[in-house]
A = this chain, B = another copy of it.
Amino acid sequence: MTLVTCDMSSSLDGYVTGPNDSRENPFGDGARMLHDWLSDAATDDDRAILQEMLDGVGALVMGRTSFDKNEGDGGWGAGGPVGDIPCFVITHNEPTASYPPVFTFVADGVVSAIEQAKHVAGDKFVTLFGATVMQQALPLGLVDEIRVHVIPVLLGGGTPLFATLDSAITLERTQVLATPAATHLGFRVVR
């Protein structure tokens, strides 16, 4: 069975970007440190967590906003976010410009995008990229694991990691790894 997961770096108060994030200001105001564990401040443990993510991903699903913010000279260069791993981009309007073949645009919503991603991911993970697509998939019962990298900062505003829910969702913690830059927590969604 292909599992659906997400990996989110979040402030302790639950923001995945600071205020005013954009292609020009990708982390939002004051939030660059959310990603320190992936670069400057990384320890061997941080790097092991990252490598485990990269080794595990079989396909990605993201929203159009994440795509527009990051593609090309927004950060990904000529490829996708993770080498040649297939990326399914949920969009209302398929772009007319041409993009690297790693990207597939999906016009019929998150359920279809995750289904297509599972088809190519095999026994690896389908990884949801960005808070919005995770927030859409979670109440539909389509998320199996949530990994939150808690960064020691209170941003006080920005893009929230979680949205409101109609009913509570029970989790089971599966991982804790503390480094100076992050507290890496893994949770399994209990059905």
Which A residues contact B (CB, under 8 angstroms)? 11-14, 18, 29-31, 33, 138, 146, 148, 150, 152-157, 161-173, 176, 178, 180, 183, 185, 187
Known: A154-B165, A156-B166, A176-B178. 19 other contacts (CB 8 A): A12-B146, A12-B148, A12-B162, A12-B187, A13-B165, A18-B168, A29-B168, A150-B185, A152-B170, A152-B171, A152-B172, A153-B168, A153-B169, A155-B165, A156-B163, A156-B164, A156-B169, A173-B178, A183-B185
Given the interface contacts A13-B161, A14-B13, does A154 sit within 8 Å of B173 by beta carbon?
Answer: no
Contact indicator B183/A168 (Cβ below 8 Å): no
Tally of this chain's copies: 2
Nearest neighbor of A11 in chain B, beta-carbon distance: B168
A-B contact pairs, 19 of them (CB 8 A): A12-B146, A12-B187, A13-B14, A13-B161, A13-B162, A13-B165, A18-B168, A31-B168, A150-B185, A153-B168, A153-B171, A154-B171, A155-B165, A155-B168, A156-B168, A157-B164, A157-B165, A176-B178, A183-B183
Chain B residues near A185 (CB, 8 Å)? 12, 150, 183
Nearest neighbor of A162 in chain B, beta-carbon distance: B13
Chain B residues near A18 (CB, 8 Å)? 168
Shortest beta-carbon distance from A119 to chain B in Å: 28
